[in-house]
Amino acid sequence: MNILVFSPHPDDDLIGCGGSIAQHVKEGNKVSVVYMTSGESGSLKYSKDALAKIREKEARNALGVFGIRDLAFLRNPDGYLEYKRENLIKLISSRVGF
């Protein structure tokens, strides 16, 4: 089974459904994660670019513990996501090969 997880920011995937992700990996399912943003707006200490790189690296490292290597960072502006059904359909279709 292929599992596709969408996450607004790095870490939301593991906070929200980390147990399910771990269980799917344990069962031998292929898990892929798509991050809508890189979570670059969460710090006064780092620039947005620096924080995005840090958060992406942390996500790779965290999912690497589970052996998950299929990650995509869409790098939409953090805090400015808009739900548009047609964009979501296009995104899902591109990831699952429709």
What averages of pLDDT result for each successive group of 10 residues across the chain (98 residues)? 94 96 98 94 91 97 96 90 80 70
pLDDT at 20: 98
Where do the domains of the chain lie, and which CATH numbers do they carry? 2-89 (3.40.50.10320)
pLDDT at 50: 96
pLDDT at 88: 79
Distance CA 2, CA 21 (A): 11
Query: Between β-strands 2-7 and 71-76, what pairing exists: parallel, antiparallel or unpaired?
Result: unpaired
pLDDT at 17: 96
Write out 67-94 in H/E/C secondary structure: CCCCEEEEEECCCCCCCCHHHHHHHHHH
Ramachandran quadrant class, 54 (left: phi over 0; alpha: psi -120 to 50; beta: rest): alpha
pLDDT at 97: 59
Is the CB of residue 71 less than 8 Å from the CB of residue 33?
yes
pLDDT at 95: 74
pTM score of the predicted model: 0.87
